[in-house]
A and B are shown apart, each in its own frame.
Chain A
Amino acid sequence: MEIIKHYFDVVIIGSGLAGCRSAIECSSHGTVGVLSKLYPTRSHSTAAQGGIGAALGNEEEDSPEWHTYDTVKGSDFLGDQDAIEIMCYDAILTIIELEHMGVPFSRTPEGRIAQRRFGGHTKDFGKTPVRRACYSADRTGHAVLFALYEQCQLKGVKFFQEFQVLDIVIENNAVQGVIAVNIKDGSLHVFESKAIVVATGGYGKIFKVTSNAYATTGECLSMLLRQGLPLEDMEFFQFHPTGLYGLGILITEGARGEGGILLNGKGERFMERYAPIIKDLAPRDMVSRAILNEIREGRGIDGKDYVYLDLRHVNKKIIEERLPEITTFCKIYMGIDPSEAPIPVIPTAHYAMGGIPTDNDGRVLRDVDGSVVEGLYAAGESACVSVHGANRLGCNSLLDTVVFGKRAGKTAISQLKDVSKGKIKKERISFIVESINTIKESKGKETVASVRRDLQTSMMDKCSVFRKEKELMMLLEELQTLKERYKEIYIKDKSNIFNTELLEAIELGHMITLAEVIASSALQRTESRGAHYREDYPERDDTNWLKHTFAFQGEKGIYFKYKPVKLTRFKPEERKY
C-alpha cells in the first residue's frame, strides 16, 4: 500500500475553535498542518449558541475576580484555581483579539460588544446575575469559528479536510507524528512532526440523547489512553438542562439569560425552590437534576418526561434579535413558535469536563506528578486543564478553547528548536493497515449500528445525571459484552472511497474504550460533586475527594491515581445559589 508522507513542525488535530486558535498562534513561527475529519467550519464548535464569557463590563459593572469566583464555585471546587484565574483574567484580551480578527459580535447601542446573562455568572460573589456572555445573536460558535478559520486561511495554514486520524504516534515519551486516512480516496498519510496539538472536542455521541454532532466520538483520547497516558476526571459529563424533547437539540441557556423560565406540569416555576437567589440561571448540573427530579415526582408536563421552557413573556423583538436560531429550531422541529407556545425540553448530554490532562500551557501530562510527554499538547473540550472541574459554567467552554488553544500553540512553537523531527516506524503503519483490514475482512454477525445503539442506551440509562453503584457495576459488565460483540462486527462496505461505514466502526471501538473509562471513574468516586451525582453518596466529600481522578489503562483494566486540586483564593464552601 502506498503511503504519502508529510512533515510539519506542528500538526494540529481538529479544526474547531481550539485547533484554529492554536494554528493561528503557530503559523508565523513554523509550518502547521491541521487535520480535520470534516470541512473545518463544520466542526461542532459551530453549534455553540449563547456566548463567550469575559468580564468586559460593557453592560454593567463586572470584574475578572467575580468571574474567577463564579467559575470556581460552578466547578464545585474541583477546578484548579490557578488555571481558572488565568482563563478569567486572560478572557478580556482574548475577546478583544477575537473582535479584531473579525468576529461579528452583537453590539450595544454605543457600538461595544453586547453581553447577556448566563447560568452561574454573578456580580459581587453570587449576589445577582451579571451580563458577562459576549454573543453574536445565538450563533456565537458559528461566528467565532468562521472568523478563526478565515484568519487561518489568511495566514496560509494548511488544512487537510476529511482526513481521519488513525493513530497518534508517541515513542520514547516523545511525539513522532500522526497516521491518517484521506476519507475521500482511502489513501494513507503519515504526518511526521515535532509537536502535536490534540483539539478534537468532545465525545457526547457515547450517550443516546445528546446535543453533540455525529463527529464527536473522542477517538483521539482513546488512542492516547491505549498508549498508557491518563485521562482526567472522566466521570464528569455535563447534561445541558434544555435539549429539545425527543431530539436533544440544544436550546441555549441564553434563552433563560434573556428572561425565559422553566415550568413543571403544575405550571410552577420550580427553580425557585432549588436556587432561590438566581433561580433559572443556576448552574447546569443543578438545573438538570431539578428537571429530572420534577419528572420523577410526577410533575412533568401531563405527568410525562419533560418540562417547559417558557419564553412567552419575553419581548418578541428580543427573541427575534437575540434568539433567532433557536426560534427556527422550534419552528422546524417542533412546529411551535416560542413567543406563543412553551418549548418542551429535557436534559441532553452536552459537554465533557474530563479529558486529556494538561498543565496551564497545554502540555499533556503523563502522570499525576506533573511529568509531560515531549511535544504533545491538548486544548479545548478534549483537554482537562482543569478549568471546569466537576461542572462547567455556560459560555466558559468557548473561552477555554481560545485561551488555552492559544497557550498550547504558543508553548508548542516555543519548544520547536529543542526538539528533533519525529519519525514513524514502518511497523507502526503496518499495524494500522492490518487493523483496518481485520475490520474489513471480518465475517462476524454484529453491525456497527446495533453495538453502538446498545452502548448509547446503556450509558444513558446507567451513567447519566443520576448514578449508583449497582447500575454502574451492571454497566461495566454490559461494556465487557459490547467489547466482545465489537470483535464480531461485520461491515458491508469494502471500498476505499469515502467509506463511512469503516470509519464508524473504528470510532465505535474507541467509544467503547472511553465509555469504560467514564463508567469506572464514576464508580470509584464515592461522592456527589457537580455533574457527578451518586444517589448512594449524595453529599460532597472534601475530606476524601477534593482531588482529580487520573484513569490509566493497565493490563488488568482501568486503574486510578489522584492529583490534588490547586486551591489559591477560594476555600471550598457549600454551594448555594
Chain B
Amino acid sequence: MDKYYTFKIKRYLPDENPQTRWDEFRVKLNSIERVLDGLIKIKETRDGTLTFRKSCAHGVCGSCAMKISGKNRLACQTLVKDMPEMIEIEPLPALPVIKDLVVDMSLFFRKNDEVLPYLINNETPPERERIQSPEDQHKILESLTCVMCGSCTTACPIFWADKEYLGPSALLKAYRFIFDTRDRAKEQRLATINSEHGIWRCHSIFNCVEVCPKQIDITKHILLLKRLAVKRGFKGGVE
C-alpha cells in the first residue's frame, strides 16, 4: 500500500554553504520500502546533491547508520511503515559531518584499533583446526555479529562528553578477542581497557543496547569485562 511520507533532512553542503539547514521532501513509498529507499528516491528524482552512504541494503555492511526520528538506526533496516508520517533524518551525532548524512568515522575506527582488534597467538598452530567447544564459541557469538556501523558509540552520552572514551563498539571488540579461547593477548587488552577512558567509564546507560541494529546486549559484554578485570585484581579508575 502506497503512502506519502515527509522526509525532513538535516543538510550540510560545505562547499555551497557553511551553515546547516533542514530540507523537506514528500515521497510516496510502499509498505515494504525502507528509509534508505526513500533517500534514494529523493536523490534520484528531487535532489542529486543529497549525500549518504549505502551498500548492502539489508543490514549486514553497516554503511547507512544515521539518526532517524531521534534514534540511531540503519536506514536499510528501518521500514517506513513503522515510522511516523514525518521522518526526521540527521547524521550520526558526536562525529564531524563531511556532507549531509556522511560523518567522518576515523575517530570511531581509531578506538577500535586501540584494543588490538585481531587474533593474536604466536604458538605453533596444530596441523588441523584449534579445538574450541561449542560452549566456548557461544561466549563470543553475540559480539561477533557487530557490523561496525557506529550507532552505539555515537549514541553514548559518555562518549559525547569524553571523546577519548573507547566507547561501546571498541569495548565489544575487546570482549570478542578477550573471550576467544584461541587468543593469547588478553592481558594487553585488559590493560588497555582498564584505563581512565576504558570500561569504568561505562555507567550502564544502555543507549548502545537501545540502538544496536544487530540487537547486541553491549552493556552486558562491558559488565563481563569489568567483572573479569576485577577478578584479575585490576582496580577501578586509573591504574
Contact in complex: B57, A214 (CB < 8 Å): yes
Q: How many A-B residue pairs have CB under 8 A?
A: 154
**Which residues on B sit within 8 Å (CB–CB) of A143?**
144
| Interface size range on A against B | 35 or more
**Is A417 part of the contact surface with B, judged by Cβ < 8 Å?**
no
**Is B87 part of the contact surface with A, judged by Cβ < 8 Å?**
no
Contact in complex: B55, A111 (CB < 8 Å): no
CB proximity to A under 8 Å, residues B113-143: 113, 117-121, 125, 127-134, 136-137, 140-141
Q: How far is the CA of A139 from the CA of B58 in the complex (A)?
A: 13
Contact in complex: B58, A136 (CB < 8 Å): no
CB distance from A10 to the nearest CB of B (A): 21
**Which residues on A sit within 8 Å (CB–CB) of B144?**
104, 136, 139, 142-143, 146
CB proximity to B under 8 Å, residues A223-257: 246-247, 249
**Is B79 part of the contact surface with A, judged by Cβ < 8 Å?**
yes
Q: Which of B49, B100, B131 contacts A112 (CB 8 A)?
A: B131
Q: Which of A111, A151, A333 contacts B133 (CB 8 A)?
A: A111
**9-residue interface stretch from B40-48, B153-161, B203-211:** B40-48
Q: Which of B32, B48, B55, B140 contacts A215 (CB 8 A)?
A: B55
Contact in complex: B145, A495 (CB < 8 Å): no
**Which residues on B sit within 8 Å (CB–CB) of A215?**
55
> Known interface pairs A111-B132, A112-B131, A153-B113. Does A333 touch B61 (Cβ–Cβ under 8 Å)?
no
Contact in complex: A96, B105 (CB < 8 Å): no
Q: How far is the CA of A499 from the CA of B180 in the complex (A)?
A: 41
> Known interface pairs A44-B56, A495-B13. Does A111 touch B134 (Cβ–Cβ under 8 Å)?
yes
B contacts with A: majority SS: loop
Q: How far is the CA of A493 from the CA of B15 in the complex (A)?
A: 11
Q: How far is the CA of A100 from the CA of B183 in the complex (A)?
A: 10
Output the nearest chain B residue to A92 by Cβ-Cβ distance.
B128
**9-residue interface stretch from A35-43, A59-67, A467-475:** A35-43
> Known interface pairs A333-B79, A498-B102, A501-B48. Does A96 touch B129 (Cβ–Cβ under 8 Å)?
yes
Contact in complex: A39, B105 (CB < 8 Å): yes
Contact in complex: B125, A100 (CB < 8 Å): yes
Contact in complex: A501, B55 (CB < 8 Å): no
Contact in complex: B60, A496 (CB < 8 Å): no
**Which residues on A sit within 8 Å (CB–CB) of B137?**
104-107
CB distance from B213 to the nearest CB of A (A): 10
Q: How far is the CA of A491 from the CA of B104 in the complex (A)?
A: 24
Contact in complex: B132, A44 (CB < 8 Å): no
CB distance from B137 to the nearest CB of A (A): 5
Q: How far is the CA of A134 from the CA of B225 in the complex (A)?
A: 30
Q: Which of A38, A100, A329 contacts B130 (CB 8 A)?
A: A100
Contact in complex: B56, A42 (CB < 8 Å): yes
Contact in complex: B56, A101 (CB < 8 Å): no
Output the nearest chain B residue to A162 by Cβ-Cβ distance.
B53
**Is B239 part of the contact surface with A, judged by Cβ < 8 Å?**
no
Q: Which of A42, A107, A110, A492 contacts B49 (CB 8 A)?
A: A492
Q: Which of B55, B100, B117 contacts A213 (CB 8 A)?
A: B55
Contact in complex: A42, B119 (CB < 8 Å): no
Q: How far is the CA of A109 from the CA of B137 in the complex (A)?
A: 11
CB proximity to B under 8 Å, residues A76-102: 95-96, 99-102
**Is A46 part of the contact surface with B, judged by Cβ < 8 Å?**
yes
**Which residues on B sit within 8 Å (CB–CB) of A449?**
43-45
**Is B51 part of the contact surface with A, judged by Cβ < 8 Å?**
yes
**Which residues on A sit within 8 Å (CB–CB) of B219?**
none
**Is A497 part of the contact surface with B, judged by Cβ < 8 Å?**
yes
**Is B99 part of the contact surface with A, judged by Cβ < 8 Å?**
yes
**Mind listing 16 A-B residue pairs with CB under 8 Å?**
A39-B148, A47-B58, A99-B130, A104-B180, A105-B137, A142-B60, A147-B119, A150-B119, A214-B55, A332-B59, A333-B79, A334-B32, A495-B13, A498-B98, A498-B99, A500-B52
CB proximity to A under 8 Å, residues B1-60: 13-16, 32, 43-45, 47-49, 51-52, 54-60
**Is A447 part of the contact surface with B, judged by Cβ < 8 Å?**
yes
Q: Which of B15, B62, B77, B118 contacts A150 (CB 8 A)?
A: B118
**Is B182 part of the contact surface with A, judged by Cβ < 8 Å?**
yes
**Is A184 part of the contact surface with B, judged by Cβ < 8 Å?**
yes
